[in-house]
Amino acid sequence: MKWARKIHKWASLIVSLQFLIWLGTGLYFNLMDHHKAAGYTYKAEHSPAPAWHELSLLEPADVLAQHEASATLTLISLANKPYYLLNHQRGLYAHFANLYSLIDATNGQAITVDAEFARVLAQTSYSGPGAVASTTLMQPPIADFLKQQNPLWQVNFADEINTSVYIEAQSGRLVGHSDEHKRLADFFLKLHFMDYANTGSFNNVLMMFFAIAALGLCGSGLIWTIVLARRGFVRRSPG
Partner 1 sequence: MMAITQIRKTSRKYHKWLMTLLALQFVVWSVTGTYMVFFDIHYIHGDTLVNNRQDKIDPQQLTYPLHNVLQRYPKAKDISLGLYLEQVVYRFSLGPDNIMLDARTGQRIAALSRQQAAVAAKFYYAGNGEVASIELLTEHAPFELNPKALPAWRVNFTDLGDPAIYVSAETGLLVAKRHNFWRLFDWMFRFHVMDHNDGKDIDNLLLFLCSVLGLISTMFGLVLLYFSLSRPKRALRAKP
CA–CA separation, 125 vs 145, rounded Å? 17
Cβ 72 to partner 1 shortest distance, Å: 4
Q: Per rule CB under 8 A, is residue 234 in the interface with partner 1?
A: no
Is the bond preceding residue 140 a cis peptide, omega within 30 degrees? no
Q: Does 57 bind partner 1 (CB under 8 A)?
A: yes
Question: From the list 1, 158, 215, 227, which residue makes contact with partner 1 (rule: CB under 8 A)?
Answer: 215
14 is a contact residue toward partner 1 (CB under 8 A): no
Taking CB under 8 A as the rule, does residue 35 contact partner 1?
Answer: no
| C-beta of residue 167 within 8 angstroms of C-beta of residue 145 | no
Interior/surface letters 188-222, b for 16+ CB within 10 angstroms, e for the rest? bbbbbbbbeeeebeeeeeebeebeebbebbeebbe
Q: Is 184 in the site for partner 1 (CB under 8 A)?
A: no
- Residue 190: what are its φ and ψ, rounded to 5°? -60, -45
Among 74, 106, 134, 198, binds partner 1 (CB under 8 A): 74
| 227 touches partner 1 by CB under 8 A | no
Q: Does residue 221 bind partner 1 (CB under 8 A)? A: yes
Do residues 111 and 102 touch, judged by C-beta distance below 8 A?
yes
Angle between helices 205-230 and 2-31 (to 10 degrees): 120
Q: In what side-by-side order are the strands of the sheet with 152-157?
A: 132-138, 152-157, 164-168, 174-178
Of positions 46, 116, 229, 230, contacts partner 1 by CB under 8 A: 229
Interface positions with partner 1 (CB under 8 A): 9, 12-13, 16-17, 19-20, 22-24, 26-27, 29-32, 34, 49, 51-53, 57, 59-62, 64-65, 69-75, 89-92, 193, 201-204, 207-208, 211-212, 214-215, 217-219, 221-222, 225, 228-229, 233, 237, 239
